[in-house]
């Protein structure tokens, strides 16, 4: 999916500050951080929205959550706490149509989210 900005980041065709990568996922710092720690965890596989996730692909999400947990630990957020968010479609606030987890931390999070 060449027109997808996150596929291009995963393929290192456009620059991002990568924090982790393996054969399944890539993590990198968000361009417009909303917290002192704001990273995105994406699958290498192009999946447009959570609605498009197939059952046979769903173990990817567990791996993404585990990597988010590891990155939270690396950033000393384990005890302080952090938030993992995934936005879906327009009312969910999704802007980039390649599924991703946001890892947010380093400040107090509020509830309900805006
Ligand atoms: P969404 O709004 O789809 O849940 O999240 C998309 C996120 O991707 C936003 O937080 C936005 O700042 C980030 N983003 C969009 N384009 C780029 C980019 O080219 N590089 C990086 N590092 N982050 C991006
Ligand atoms: Zn993509």
Q: Check the CA dihedral 65-68-74-75 and report its sign.
A: negative
Quote the pLDDT of residue 84: 98
Q: How confident is residue 10, by pLDDT bands cut at 50, 70 and 90?
A: very high
User: Does 73 score more than 80 pLDDT?
Assistant: yes
Rounded average pLDDT over 97-110: 98
Residues 98-113: what's their mean pLDDT? 97
Q: What's the pLDDT at 50?
A: 98
Ligand that lies nearest to the alpha carbon of residue 4, given by its number in the listed order? 2
Nearest by Cα to 67 from 42, 88, 44, 33: 42
Largest CA distance in the chain: 39
Domains and CATH numbers, the chain: 5-105 (3.30.428.10)
Q: For 1-38, b where at least 16 C-beta lie within 10 A, e where not — what string?
A: eeebebbbbbeeeeebeebeeeeebbbbebeeeebebb
pLDDT tens digits along 27-62: 999 999 999 999 999 999 999 999 999 999 999 999
CB-proximal residues (5 Å) to ion ligand 2: 1, 4, 6-7, 46, 98
pLDDT band per the 50, 70, 90 thresholds, residue 19: very high
Q: Quick one: pLDDT at residue 2? A: 67
Give me the half-sphere count of Cα atoms (radius 13 Å) on the Cβ side of residue 50. 13
Nearest to 47, CA basis, from 6, 99, 100: 99
Distance from Cα 58 to the centre of ligand 1, integer Å: 22
Per the DSSP assignment, residues forming a β-bridge with 18 are: 28
User: What distance in angstroms lies between residue 83's CA and the mean position of ligand 2's atoms?
Assistant: 23
φ/ψ of 17, rounded to 5, equals -85, 95
Active-site annotation holds for 100: yes
What is the structure's pLDDT at 1? 61
Decide if 12 contacts 109 (C-beta within 8 A): no
CA of 31 to the centre of ligand 1 (A): 6
Ligand 1 atom having least distance to the Cα of 14? 19
Q: What pTM, to 2 d.p., does this model score? A: 0.98
Position 114 scores a pLDDT of 84
């Amino acid at each position: 999916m060449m027109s997808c900005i996150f596929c291009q980041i995963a393929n290192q065709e456009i620059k991002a500050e990568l924090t982790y990568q393996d054969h399944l996922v890539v993590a990198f710092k968000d361009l417009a951080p909303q917290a002192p720690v704001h990273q995105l965890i994406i699958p290498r596989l192009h999946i447009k929205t959570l609605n498009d996730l197939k059952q046979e692909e769903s173990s990817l999400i567990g791996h993404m959550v585990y990597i988010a947990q590891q990155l939270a630990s690396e950033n000393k957020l384990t005890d302080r706490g952090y938030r993992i968010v995934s936005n879906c479609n327009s009312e969910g606030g999704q802007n980039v149509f390649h599924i991703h987890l946001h890892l947010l931390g380093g400040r107090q999070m509020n509830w309900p989210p805006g």
